[in-house]
Structures are given as C-alpha cells and as structure tokens.
Amino acid sequence: MVSVPVKMDDGRVKVFSGYRVQHNQMLGPFKGGIRYHHLVDLSEVAALASLMTFKNSLLNLPLGGAKGGVQVDPNKLSKAELENLTRRFTSEIAPFIGPDRDIPAPDVGTDSQTMAWMLDTYSLESGFSQTGVVTGKPVEIGGSLGREAATGLGVIYATEKALEKIGKRISDATIAVQGFGKVGMYASIEGYAKGAKVVAVSDVSGALYDPKGINIAELSRYVRERKMIKDFPEVQHISNEELLYLDVDVLAPCALEGVIHAGNAKNVKAKVIVEGANGPTTREADEVLASKGCVVVPDILANGGGVVVSYFEWVQDISWLFWSEDEVRSKLREVIYKAFDKVWQFADTHKVHMRSAAMASSLLRLERAMKLRGQAW
C-alpha cells in the first residue's frame, strides 16, 4: 500500500491511496492491470490479483497473478493531474515491478496513455528504456499490433469453439452482444467479419435489433463519431433487457456483472453464452442455464484474449522483435482454442459445468508447478 501525493492544478497537494497486490508467482513473473476507480481498496485489488493467477494459469501463460489500483475517480482529474498521479504511483511501486518481476497493464479507468507515463517514469529511474515493464502501451513505444481488438477477438474464437460443440458454424449463427465498448464492439466486428448475423447489440443508451443482421461496419463508424448506438437508423430499438431474451444461437454479455441472474435466467433462449464481461452470470443462473442445456463459456476463458496479447506484447518487448497483426491473431487463436479444448474435455470427463472445469484445470496446473518447486506436497 502506498500514499500518492499529487500536486493538483489549483496548487494544493492531495494524497491518494495506491495498491499493488502480488498473489502468486509459481508460473512466472506477476502480471495484472492497474485500476483507477473511486471504490478501489485493498480487498478488491487482492481478489482481482488472485483471479489473474487463475486466468494466466488456465491460459497456459508463463505468468503469475497481480493487480493494482489507485482510489481515485479519474474523470474528476485533469490530464496533468492524472499524469502527476500516474508518475508518482509508478515511482512508489517501482521497487516491486519490472519486466522480470511484475508487469502492469491497463484496467478500468486506465488506458494506453497511462501505460506510456508508467513506462517513461520507470525508464527514467532505471536510466534506460524498459519497454517490457508494462503492456497495453501505444504501438509507437513498444505496444503490440492487435492488442485493442484482442479481448473481443478472443470472445469470438471461444464462440467458434462452443458453436462447433453444438454442431454449428459461426457463419450460420445469430449473435446478440450486450455492451458496445472495448470488448463488445470488437466481438461484434470480428463476429460480423466471420459472417455471423449480429442481430442485436446494446450499450448504456439502449439496444438495437435487426433479425436480418446489423451492419456492424457501419455501426462501428457511427459509434466512433457519436460515442453511443442510440438513434442508429433503419433498425428496431428494443430495451436492454429484451436483448437478453432473444432467440439467438449466442448471447455475449460484454458489459456488466450479474446481468443474468436467478430472476431472469429462465427467459434466456440463447444456446450458448460467451462471457465477454467479468461475472455476467450468477451462480444461481448457472444452474438454471445448465438445466436448459445452455453452454456457458466462463469469463476466465472467454475474455482471456486481452491478457494473452498482453503476454505477446511483453514477449515482443523483451526480445525486441515485433510481430505482424496476422501473427498475433493466429497465435491468439491457438491459445484460446487449446484452453477451450482443455476445459471442454475436463468438463466432459468429470461431468461438471465449464466454469468449474476452467477453475479446476487452472488450479491443477498451479498445483503441479508448486509441487515441482517444492512449495506443495
């Protein structure tokens, strides 16, 4: 836990609380995002750090789990104040991070600019450029091609595999996507590019529906200009709730947690749910969905594309050799497909849901590592 004094624009000094939790490094250096949010506290950061351990283990990455954050509402700070905060926070945690030790990345409330400031501050203190200290950087200073779309693309790779299990191809499938932000927009773009009919999407301003499929290329251009999907022409406008109950092959909740719960799970008609967001389906809903034969691809697997390409970025930085976007995409596909097969097989063998199978196979890999290192028996 660190104190982060920041000189504000009005000349006053304000002190913020910052955190970095390193949970487990049995598989490799710590890795996990930095969150700027007014509700960040030690227990939240610790919980998120442990989730990173499980996610990295499941995806077969040579990385441990960590998370960090500052208790601040970034929307209330000017750009100069945010830069001061980021630089001071980086200096405070500098003894604990590093390309061989712990590699932060963006999370809620932080972005590639935040990572650029972190990289610069850490490098100034080291005396040379250390591009591998953070991932999610702008491409110009060591970021990876394909990082922006990675989580959404991973959602679509997981969708392809899940559809295969129910005997469908993505090019014949209908998809509804909740959320049109970093995850949902790229999942829609990638699904549309593979020939799926994206029949519905939503954001905080409402939901759009077209049974013939929405033109996602047009919609993405529209949203880049106007920020929201509201008023997009020539489609039906439905409620956010209605989107969840559409009769589609795939529902990809890519916005908020807890949106499919005991109260509404029985109304969900999708054959496959691919969790782009973290925790969109509650435990009670899992039971209802399983009893209907709905396949739920859990968040830890479905939205792992971001951390996989973060790992690729780090590999490129420390080897000073940068890959083409095609290379990044095909390597990502390989990782997600393999992780999916591992989870599917575990679920089939042990007759459990994919969520339990994902957690169990992640823990088994960790257990093996701990035993080999003599830290468990």
Under the rule (CB under 6 A), what is the footprint of ligand NAD? 151, 178-184, 202-204, 240, 254-256, 276-278, 303, 306
Q: Which residue is nearest to ligand NAD (CB)?
A: 181
Where do runs of H (alpha helix) occur along the chain?
A: 42-58, 79-93, 112-126, 150-165, 182-193, 216-226, 240-244, 283-291, 299-302, 305-319, 325-350, 354-372
Choose the catalytic residue: 31, 55, 67, 342: 67
Residue with tokens 């604990």: 96
Angle, CA 112 vertex, CA 105 and CA 141 arms, to 5°: 100
Q: Considering beta carbons, is residue 130 or 178 the nearer one to ligand NAD?
A: 178
Strand, helix or coil for residue 293: coil
HSE-CB at 22 with a 13 A cutoff on CA atoms is: 17
Q: Considering beta carbons, is residue 4 or 273 the nearer one to ligand NAD?
A: 273
Q: Using an 8 Å Cβ cutoff, are 81 and 15 in contact? A: no
Q: Using an 8 Å Cβ cutoff, are 89 and 15 in contact? A: no
Q: Considering beta carbons, is residue 308 or 369 the nearer one to ligand NAD?
A: 308
249 Cβ contact list (under 8 Å, min separation 6): 163, 166, 168, 173, 174, 175, 270, 271, 272
Q: Considering beta carbons, is residue 121 or 186 the nearer one to ligand NAD?
A: 186
Q: Considering beta carbons, is residue 29 or 136 the nearer one to ligand NAD?
A: 136
* CA dist., res. 154 & res. 150, Å (int): 6
Find the shortest distance in angstroms from Cβ 11 to ligand NAD.
33
Asked if 67 is an active-site residue, the reply is: yes
In the chain, the amino acid numbered 128 is: F
Strand, helix or coil for residue 96: helix
Active site residues: 67
